[in-house]
Structure 1
Amino acid sequence: MILKYPIIPITFFTALGIFAGYLQPDKSVVLICALLSALLLLTAWWQSKQVLLQKPWFTVAAWLLAFSLGMAVQYLHFGPNKGLHYTHAKIENPVIRGVISERLKPNKYSEKYYLEVTAVDKQPAVGTILVNMPKDKFAKTLHPGDVLFVAGSPQPITNARNPYQFDYAAYMAKQDVFHQINLKGNYIIAGQERDFSYYIQKLRDRLIGSFSIHNFKPQTLQVINALLFGQRQDMDKQTTDSYTSAGVVHILAISGLHFALLFWALSRLLAPLKRVPKLGNVGHFIIVLGLMWGFAFITGLSASVVRAVVMFTIVMAGDALNRRANIYNSLAVSMLLLLIAKPAFLFDAGFQLSYLAVFAIVGLQPLYNRLKRSKYKALQWVKDTVAISFIAQVGVLPVTLYYFNQFPLLFLLANVVVIPLSNLVLGLGIATLLLNFTIPAVAIWVGKALEFSIEIMNGFIAWVASFESLVIKNIPFTLLLNVLLYAVILLLVQWLYKRRFKYAVACLCSIIVFQLAYMITSYNAKEDEELVIFHNYKSSLLAQKNPAGITVMSADTLALQNRVIADYIKGSFNPTVRLKPMRQLLWHNGTKVLVLDNLAVYPAGIKPDVLVLTQNTKVNLNRVLHDLKPAHVVADGTSHKNVVARWAATCQKQNIPFHATAEKGYYTVK
C-alpha cells in the first residue's frame, strides 16, 4: 500500500538518515555515503533504460540516497559542526554577545530563554544557549530582540540525575542546544536588534494586549493565549494537568483545526477579490496564503503549526493549478520539507503526535466511511467526532504511552464535549480580537460570551479530570514496546482493509510478539537486583531492589510520593514497594554500605565497601577514611556543594574513588 505513494518511503528513509546523523558519524562517512548512493542511483537509472522489465534496483538506490541525504542534512544542521560555533572558542570566562530569540516555558525558580550567540570576545560566533534568569523582584523581563552581553563560561545542561527520569539535557541536545548560562549580575542589556523575531513579538504583544480591556481572569487569558496565539508558557500547572488527564491537551495546541477555521473565514471575507479581472484569483491566493503564514509566525512556528500551514499551502497550490493533491503525498511532502528545513523536528513530540494523528485519520477514514450514516445530522456529528477522536487516539497511543506513561479512559466523552466548545471559543476569540481594534464597545459583550464559554470548557475538563481512578498513570513503556505496538496496529489495519487469512495470522503473531516482549521486559526489570543511592536535595533516598520487590529507605515518610521514586517504580515495571526508615548499615549481594548522617556516629572497624556521606555530616573525613578504609565514597544530594568539594579533595589525596550524585547522578551497587 505504501509503495503506491513513492514519496512516503523517500520521506521515511530521509527521517531514518536524520536519526543516523544524530549519532554524529564522521564527516568522511557522511560524504562517502552520499557519493556512493548518488553513483549507485545513476548506475541503476542507466541500467533501467536498457531493459524492458524493470528490477527494483533503482527504487532501492533512491531509498539509499534519501538515507544519505538525511544524514547529510543532520550533519549540516548540527551546531558544533559549524566552524563559527561558540564551542570552538577556547576562552575562559568569555564575554558573549547574543540576541534573545524566544521565551520558553519557565519553571518554579527561573525564566528561560534562547540566546542566539553572535560573538564571543568580539569574534563572530553562532549557536544557541539556554539562558536562565532567577525569578525575583529585581529580575528584568527579557524580550525577543534584546541584545545581551554576558560574562561567564556556558555550562553543560544538567542531565538526568536519577534512573528513568526525563533527561532534559538529551532533549535540548536534540534541539541543538548544549549549554546554559545563569543571569545574575553578570550581564547587561545593550539595546535591541530589530530583526524579524522582534517585530513578530511586537505584533503578538499588541494582539494579546488588546484583550486587556476585558479584565479577564488569568485562567481565561491563558486559554486565549494558547488557542489564538500558541503561547502556553504561562499556563498554570493545574490547568495543564486537567487537560492532560482528560485526554484533550491537544486542544491547547495550534493545529489544523485552527487553520481550517482561519482558511474558511479568510476565503469568505476575501471572496470579492476573485471578481477582479485577470488578477483576482491570484490576488486572493496570495493574500489568503500570506495571512495564514503570518498567523503561523505569530503563533511561534511550532511543529504542529508548521505542519498545518505547509499542508494548506500544498492544497491551495494544487487548487490554484487545478490539480487535486493526493492527501498521502501532501502529508509526506510537507513532512519531508519540514525535516530538510529543520531536522530537529524529527525528535519533537509535537511533530510526531501531529503527523501520526493525521496519518491515522486519513488512513482509517475509508474504513469508517463503510459504516451506515445516520439520517439525523446531530447524531451523525456525534458519531463523526467520536470516530475521529478514537482513530486519532489509536494513531498516537504508542507514542503517548512512551512519552507520557498514562492513558485517560474518558477521552471520548471529553472530546465529544470539548471539540465543539473549543470551536465556539476559537470563533468567539477571533471575533473578539477583530472587534478589539474596530468596535471595542461590541467587543466587550462578545468577550463576555468568550469568557463564559472558556469557563464552561475549563469546568467540564476539570470535572472529567477529577475521576482520577479513570486515568491510568505510570504505565511503563519502552521504545521497543512502542515499535512493536505500532506493528500490531499497522497489521490490524491491513487485515481490516483486506480480510485475508495471512493478514489475520500476521496480526495475531504481532500481538503475541508484543505480549512476549512486554513480559520479558517486565520480568528482566523486576528480577534485576541493585541498591540505588538517588540524587535528592531534601532527604536521603535509597532503594534496594530484588525479585521480591523494592524497599525504599528514607527518613521522609512521604518518600513514595517523591517524583524520583515514582519514576524508579514505573521504570521497574511497578513491582511491590515498601517504605522503611533509613538504616545506617546495609548489605547488598555481599557489598557492605555505611550511611553517615548529620549525627556523625559510626561503629569502629566496620570497613564498608561503600561509604555514603549525607546531610553535611560533620566528620573528620581524613580520620574516617583512615579508620574505615572504604573502597568507594558517595556524597548524595543532601549536602552543600562546598562541603562536597572538600570531601572530593580529601578522597583524591587518599586515592579513594569519589562519586557526587550532584555531578555524576545516582550511584548503583549491583
Structure 2
Amino acid sequence: MRGYPFFRYVAALLIGIVLAEAWPTVSPYWAAGFGLGCLGLYLFRLRRNERKTIKPLDLVQGFALLGLMAALGWGLLYAHTPAHRPDNLLNVPNPPDAYEAVITNLPETRAKTIKVELALRRGRWNDGDSAGYRPLTGRVVAYLDKGDSLAPTATPRYGDVWLVLHPPRLADPPLNPAEFDYRRFLSRRGIYHQQYLRPWQRRVIGYDPPSRLTALAYRVNAWADSLLTQKIGSRAEYGVVNAMFLGTRDDLDPVQYETYAAAGAVHILSVSGMHIGILFIVLSGLLTWLAPGQGNRWWVIGLKLSVLWFYALTTGLSAPVLRSAVMFTYLLLAGGFNRSQSLMNTLGASAFFVLVYDPYAAFSVGFQLSYLSILGIGAWAPQFIKLWRPQTRVANWLWEISMVAVAAQLVALPVSLYYFHAFPVYFLLANPAVALLSTLLVPLAVATVALGWVPVLGDGLGWLLRQVAWLLNAAVDWVGHLPGATFDGFWPSALAVGLMYLLIGLAGMVVLTRHRRYVRLLAGAAVVLALLTVHDVQQQATQRRLVVHYQPRKTTVSLTAGRQTQLLTDADWETNPRLYDFYLKNALDSWGVRQVQTGSLLADTIATLPPYRHTPDVSLLVWEGRSLLLVNRLASYRRWQLPAVVDYVVLRRNALRDWHQLQQRVVARHLIFDGSNAMERVDSLLKTKPPTLASRVHSVRHSGAFVAEW
C-alpha cells in the first residue's frame, strides 16, 4: 500500500464521511479540533524526522495524516449539507405560501408525470408584519402531469425561473418494511421537500440557468437525442442507444429492462464510467494503429481528451461520466508528463478528488459499484487471466473478457446483493456478446452524433448503429429468458456484507502470500458468516408477523408464519402487478417468504383461513391466537357489538367519521387506519383522543405500516 498513497487517503476520507453521516448531531467543532490536533502532531513528527540523517518510517506521523484526512471528510460532509444553513427551507418555522425557484436538472419524463428539481431563491409568507418575499434556500422535487402545459413555451427546461404558488412538503419516508428510502436518497442530494404541482400553481417568470456550461451540455444532449431519433427510428433499438449513450431511459420498455437485469447486463443501460472506458480503449487502439509510438505526444493526448469530454458533454455532464472523465484525464496527463502510471493509485486519486468535490457521492450506488468493479479488474483480472492460456486468438479473447467480468463481479458482488438482492446466473454467458457489441455501439454512437450531418455517411452510421443495437437486444433477450436466469431473494445485512469483503480480502492474501495464518483467518470468517446465515434462516422459519401495509386507496394485510404469507387485500395484482412489486415484494423477500397466497377481502370465506368471516359491515378472523377485525362501514341502522376485546381493528374506506361511532361496538388493543382512508379525515380524527376505545391508535399514512411480531 506504500506505493498507493491515495488509497490510504481515500479510505480515511471515507471513514470521516461515513461517521459524519451516521452522527449528524455531533458538533463539527469536535472534528475540527481532532483535525487540528492531527495536523499539529503530523508537523511535529515531520520536523523532528527531518533532522535525522536516516529518515525512519514513522507510524505516528502516518496515522496523524490519516486522522487529518478523516477530519477533512467529516468537515466536507458537514459543509455540503444544506440542512445546516439557517435560511434553508428545512429550518423555517412554516413553509412559504409561494416561492421563486429555478429548474436545475434536465426534466425527466415518467409514465404519467414529468419530474423537475427546483432550487429556491426566495419565499413569500403572508404572516402579518413580516409578510413579503425573503431570501430562502433549499431544493424541491416537483412532479407535473405529463399533459400539463400552460403554453408551448411552458414546457419545463433547465434554467426556467418559476413562481410556485403552493407550499412544498417534506419528502415521504418509507411507509412499508424494506421499502426504498426515497427520503434518505433525496437528502443525500441536498433535497428535503417534494410536491405535486397543478398547472395553475406555477408560472414561468424568466430564464436564468445556474450554469451556462450545464445549459450547453443539456442543449447538446437534446440535439444528440433528436439526431439519434432520426437516424435509428425503431423504438427498441433507440431505447437501448438512448439509455447507453445519453443516459435517458424514457423510451426503454420495462420488459426489456427486466430482461437486461436477468442477463446480468443491466449496468450497460446506465451511462457510467464503463462507457467512457470503452471509448478510451477504442480510441487508444485506433490512434496506436494510425500513429504508432505517438501515444504520449500532446496532440494525441489532446485528441483523446477532446473526444472523451465531447462524449461527457452529450450525456449532459452526468456525474458517473464526469468521475470517469476525471480519472482518464488524470491518466492521460500523467503519461504526457512522463509520470509513472498506476491504475490503483489513479483510481484512488480520482475517487479522492470526487469525494472532496461531493462527499455525498460516497453513498451513491453507481459510485460504489463503479470503483469496486475497476478495483476488482485491476487487482484480480491479471491473476485470473494467467490461470489458462488458450491456443487460439478467439478463445483467448473470450477467456480474457470472461475473467475481467468475473473479477469485476467478484469485488462488486456483496454491494450488488445488498442493493439489488439478485444474482444473474448467466452473466458469463452474456458478457462476451455484451462486451463486444458495447465496444462497437458506443464509438458508433459518438461517430453518428459527430458526423450525422453528412448526408450519406450519417445515414450509413445510423444504419450500422441500429443493427448493432438489434444484435445486442437479441443476445441479451436470449440469455435473459433462459430457465433460472436469476437467483433473487438475497437480503444480506451490513454485517454480512462486511464479512463477505473480509473473505474476499483474506482469499486474496492467501493467493498472494500462501501463508497458513490467512488460511485460518479465512476459515474463521467463513464459519462466522455461515453461523450468521443459519441464524437468519432459523429466525425466518419461526417468525410470526401481522402487518397492515400502506397502499394508496387500498387495504392490504399480510399474515406471515414461517416462510408462508397470506395476503388479505382488495388490490387486483393481476391487472396491476407493479403495485405488488412496489409496495410488498421487498418486504416479503426480506422476510424469506417463499409461498404467497392472496385472499380477497370481499369473499365470504377464504379457504386457507377457516376462521375468516365477512359481512358488508365487518370482517373478522382469528390467526395464530390473535383477533383481527376489519371495519368496512359503520351504518347507524345496523348495530353490532363484539363481546370481547379485539387485538387489532383496521378502519377502512372512511368508515369512521366520529369516535363515538365505535362506542358500544368494540374495544381494541390497537386501532389502525389503513391507506384506503382519506388523509384529511384521519388528520381530523387524530387531533382528538378516542375515549377508552383502544390503547394505541396508528395511521399507516402518517407512521408507516403497522407491524406486530411475536
TM-score between the two structures when normalised by the length of structure 2: 0.86
| C-alpha spacing 1:105/1:246, structure 2 compared with 1 (3 Å) | farther
Q: In structure 2, how many angstroms separate the alpha carbons of the residues matched to 1:267 and 1:515?
A: 46
Question: Does the alignment pair 1:81 with 2:92?
Answer: no
Alignment coverage as a number of residue pairs: 664
Identity of aligned residues (%): 23
1:367 to 383, 389, 392: 383
| C-alpha spacing 1:529/1:188, structure 2 compared with 1 (3 Å) | same
| C-alpha spacing 1:360/1:212, structure 2 compared with 1 (3 Å) | closer
Partner of 1:189: 204
Partner of 2:707: 668
1:512-531 alignment, distance < 5 Å = 512-531=527-546
Give the CA deviation at 1:294: 4.1
- Whether contact under 8 Å (1:101, 1:197) holds in the other structure is no
Question: Does the alignment pair 1:449 with 2:444?
Answer: no
1:503-518 alignment, distance < 5 Å = 503-518=518-533
| C-alpha spacing 1:620/1:74, structure 2 compared with 1 (3 Å) | closer
Partner of 1:21: 20
Deviations 1:427-464 (A, max 9, x none): 32222223312x12332233222212212211221222
SS of corresponding position for 2:584: helix
| C-alpha spacing 1:453/1:39, structure 2 compared with 1 (3 Å) | same
Amino acid at match of 2:590: G
Q: In structure 2, how many angstroms separate the alpha carbons of the residues matched to 1:44 and 1:521?
A: 49
Partner of 2:6: 7
SS of corresponding position for 1:469: coil
- Whether contact under 8 Å (2:161, 2:208) holds in the other structure is yes
Give the CA deviation at 1:418: 1.7
- Whether contact under 8 Å (1:48, 1:54) holds in the other structure is no
Q: In structure 2, how many angstroms separate the alpha carbons of the residues matched to 1:422 and 1:468?
A: 25
2:266 to 224, 229, 249: 249
Partner of 2:163: 149
Q: In structure 1, how many angstroms separate the alpha carbons of the residues matched to 2:470 and 2:527?
A: 46
| C-alpha spacing 1:26/1:652, structure 2 compared with 1 (3 Å) | farther
Q: In structure 2, how many angstroms separate the alpha carbons of the residues matched to 1:619 and 1:302?
A: 50
Give the CA deviation at 1:214: 2.8
Q: In structure 1, how many angstroms separate the alpha carbons of the residues matched to 2:570 and 2:291?
A: 74
SS of corresponding position for 1:115: strand
Give the CA deviation at 1:344: 1.4
Partner of 2:606: none
Give the CA deviation at 1:557: 7.5
Deviations 1:55-104 (A, max 9, x none): 42112212211111110000000011134423334444332222111136
Unaligned 5+ segments in structure 1 are: none
Give the CA deviation at 1:270: 8.8
Give the CA deviation at 1:162: 0.6
- Whether contact under 8 Å (2:229, 2:238) holds in the other structure is no
| C-alpha spacing 1:386/1:366, structure 2 compared with 1 (3 Å) | closer
1:308 to 324, 333, 345: 324
Q: In structure 2, how many angstroms separate the alpha carbons of the residues matched to 1:288 and 1:44?
A: 43
Partner of 2:372: 356
Give the CA deviation at 1:505: 1.8
Partner of 1:401: 417
- Whether contact under 8 Å (1:34, 1:68) holds in the other structure is yes
Deviations 1:525-571 (A, max 9, x none): 44343321111235422223344744433355859962333222211
| Greater Cα shift, 311-320 or 373-382 | 373-382
SS of corresponding position for 2:99: strand
Q: In structure 2, how many angstroms separate the alpha carbons of the residues matched to 1:262 and 1:573?
A: 42
Q: In structure 1, how many angstroms separate the alpha carbons of the residues matched to 2:499 and 2:512?
A: 20
Amino acid at match of 2:20: G
Give the CA deviation at 1:158: 1.2
1:611 to 649, 654, 676: 649
Deviations 1:362-383 (A, max 9, x none): 0013312423433422111111
Partner of 1:659: 698
Q: CA RMSD for the aligned pairs?
A: 3.1
Partner of 2:130: none
| C-alpha spacing 1:581/1:648, structure 2 compared with 1 (3 Å) | same
Give the CA deviation at 1:198: 1.9
| C-alpha spacing 1:282/1:445, structure 2 compared with 1 (3 Å) | closer
Question: Does the alignment pair 1:595 with 2:633?
Answer: no
- Whether contact under 8 Å (2:265, 2:430) holds in the other structure is yes
Q: In structure 1, how many angstroms separate the alpha carbons of the residues matched to 2:633 and 2:75?
A: 55
Amino acid at match of 2:37: L
| C-alpha spacing 1:533/1:272, structure 2 compared with 1 (3 Å) | closer
| Greater Cα shift, 390-399 or 516-525 | 516-525
SS of corresponding position for 1:17: helix
SS of corresponding position for 2:68: helix
Q: In structure 1, how many angstroms separate the alpha carbons of the residues matched to 2:140 and 2:69?
A: 31
1:19-418 alignment, distance < 5 Å = 19-23=18-22, 24=24, 25-49=26-50, 53-103=56-106, 105-121=108-124, 122-136=133-147, 138=149, 141-184=155-198, 185-194=200-209, 195-214=212-231, 216-263=233-280, 281-282=297-298, 285-286=301-302, 288-418=304-434
Q: In structure 2, how many angstroms separate the alpha carbons of the residues matched to 1:27 and 1:460?
A: 53
SS of corresponding position for 2:268: helix
1:645 to 679, 683, 686: 683
| Greater Cα shift, 204-213 or 352-361 | 204-213
SS of corresponding position for 2:501: helix
- Whether contact under 8 Å (1:41, 1:61) holds in the other structure is yes
| Greater Cα shift, 237-246 or 38-47 | 38-47
- Whether contact under 8 Å (1:533, 1:541) holds in the other structure is yes
Q: In structure 1, how many angstroms separate the alpha carbons of the residues matched to 2:289 and 2:469?
A: 34
| C-alpha spacing 1:619/1:587, structure 2 compared with 1 (3 Å) | farther
1:619-630 alignment, distance < 5 Å = 621-630=659-668
| C-alpha spacing 1:297/1:21, structure 2 compared with 1 (3 Å) | farther
Give the CA deviation at 1:161: 0.8
Partner of 2:607: none
Partner of 2:127: none
Partner of 2:129: none
Amino acid at match of 1:390: V
TM-score between the two structures when normalised by the length of structure 1: 0.91
Partner of 2:439: 423
- Whether contact under 8 Å (1:204, 1:298) holds in the other structure is yes
- Whether contact under 8 Å (2:540, 2:562) holds in the other structure is no
Deviations 1:188-222 (A, max 9, x none): 11232143322221122122222343361222222
Structure with the higher helix share, 1 or 2: 1
SS of corresponding position for 1:103: coil
SS of corresponding position for 2:449: helix
SS of corresponding position for 1:136: coil
Q: In structure 2, how many angstroms separate the alpha carbons of the residues matched to 1:565 and 1:230?
A: 29
- Whether contact under 8 Å (2:113, 2:146) holds in the other structure is yes
Give the CA deviation at 1:321: 0.8
Q: In structure 1, how many angstroms separate the alpha carbons of the residues matched to 2:531 and 2:461?
A: 57
Give the CA deviation at 1:359: 0.2
Question: Does the alignment pair 1:585 with 2:620?
Answer: yes
Q: In structure 2, how many angstroms separate the alpha carbons of the residues matched to 1:525 and 1:104?
A: 43
- Whether contact under 8 Å (2:176, 2:584) holds in the other structure is no
Q: In structure 2, how many angstroms separate the alpha carbons of the residues matched to 1:274 and 1:155?
A: 59
